[in-house]
Amino acid sequence: MVGPRIVVVGTGPAGVRCAEQLVAAGIRPVVIDEGGRDGGQIYRRQPPNFRRGYADLYGSEAAKADALHRAFDALRDRIDYHPGTLAWNVTEGELHLMRDGAAWRAPYDALIVCAGATDRLMPVKGWQHAGTYSLGAAQVALKSQACSVGRRVVFLGSGPLLYLVAAQYLKAGAAIGAVLDTARLSDRVAALPRLLARPGVLRNGLSYIAALRRAGVPLLSGVTPVEITGDAARGVDGIVVRDGAGRERRFDCDAVAMGYHLRPETQLADLARCAFRFDAEARQWFPEVSLEGRSSVKGVYLAGDGARILGADGAENAGRLAALSALADLGLPVDRARVAALLREQGVMERFRRGLVRAFPWPAGQAADLADDAIVCRCECITAGELRRTVREMGAAEANRAKAFSRVGMGRCQGRYCGQAGAEVVAHAAAVPLEQVGRLRGQAPVKPLAIATREETQ
């Protein structure tokens, strides 16, 4: 008997637990991963020839990382695993894939997208200088290659990743110039009732801040970024911010790691024609998905940070729930009590997520205040002034129209890193609510393919 064809995209916490649930039901899923090794970003595995221990790599999350890696290792002979493979398009019942220049299609009865998230970035004048990294990229350098992005690093932005990565750099022995948070202390205090939904996670976050304080690292809250200084030849040489009292302060460094929490990786969901909704509190668009993982499209399920930013624990639950939903929709038996228990846990995760949004708000006002000569789109070198002229002189008050006229979001990253800030600039210039600007539509290929790529059909 041939079982249903279920394809899982991603081998982070959501993807691994999803595949595990499917295998437990007697399914042999196809598992696609763009990375060379499983674990996703948060539990990224080091290269095979590296020998650092789990405690060094993952700190307080070492046990969870070890458990996830062991679970995936136990699945390898029971899944069709395709590492290093890009899922670049979705059409009716088929996922389009490419690896090492060869492209093919994987037909599916159920597609479960566990694509994860990327850094949410807000431009600052000078962020195009060499030595400016996202927080995620700085963390990848440390986990994958055991190296710092600079000799003296300043961390800028907001969100739990800001303190986590800074603490990881501190533990690794890197020199840290400062940790500069745009959120105010009062934001975190106001968020405490929701954050207390997960006291253990909150305690971990506070321990990172305490470790940085003990080490004498300057920690500033409520800052306003002014400029990352440097030039094209030497790269970054410092950063200037205004502190909470309005005083201008400079910190010397040769690298800046910046980020403002996360944005879900939604392009495959978009190509699968899933509906989206605007979250006014987070000021970003999310795909519509039930707590059980069902999207608005029959046979397409979404789980993990690619659907809703709940963190690694929430992603593991979401992966299990999406698998159980797919099994149920395909007419296979599922444990209803198990589903109910997972849903209760997700309720706690959701409350904590809303606490993080309150504690570390997206600094929308920075987009409005960007200098006209500040670059918004680093791929195409488009400035805030050029984008504003597109709005004021060409009437491009919608995200895709502004992209077509200005080329913001048209480069290699396809708007992953500039799209949300660009929308804020457009909304302010046009004096309309952000949701009215809309969002950049996903287009295939989701990442660049070689022009000579030819797809083999089966």
Residue 354 identity (one-letter amino acid): R
- Alpha carbon 253 to its chain's center: 26
The C-alpha atoms of residue 221 and residue 227 are separated, in whole angstroms, by 17
The better pLDDT of the pair 161, 448 is held by: 161
Average model confidence (pLDDT) for the chain? 95
Q: What is the pLDDT of residue 50?
A: 87
The per-type count for the chain, helices as H runs and strands as E runs, is 15, 23
User: What is the share, in percent, of the chain residues with pLDDT greater than 90?
Assistant: 91
Contact 109, 59 (CB under 8 A): no
The C-alpha atoms of residue 301 and residue 292 are separated, in whole angstroms, by 9
What is the torsional sign of CA 180, 283, 141, 165?
positive
Q: What is the pLDDT of residues 73-97, one digit of tens each?
A: 999 999 999 999 999 999 999 999 9
Q: What is the pLDDT of residues 329-367, one digit of tens each?
A: 999 999 999 999 999 999 999 999 999 999 999 999 999
Q: What is the pLDDT of residue 187?
A: 96
DSSP of 360-405? S---HHHHHH--TTSEEETTTTEEHHHHHHHHHHH---SHHHHHHH
Asked if residue 454 has pLDDT above 80, the reply is no
Q: What is the pLDDT of residue 51?
A: 84
Characterize the bridge pairing of strands 6-9 and 110-113. parallel
Q: What is the pLDDT of residues 269-312, one digit of tens each?
A: 999 999 999 999 999 999 999 999 999 999 999 999 999 999 99
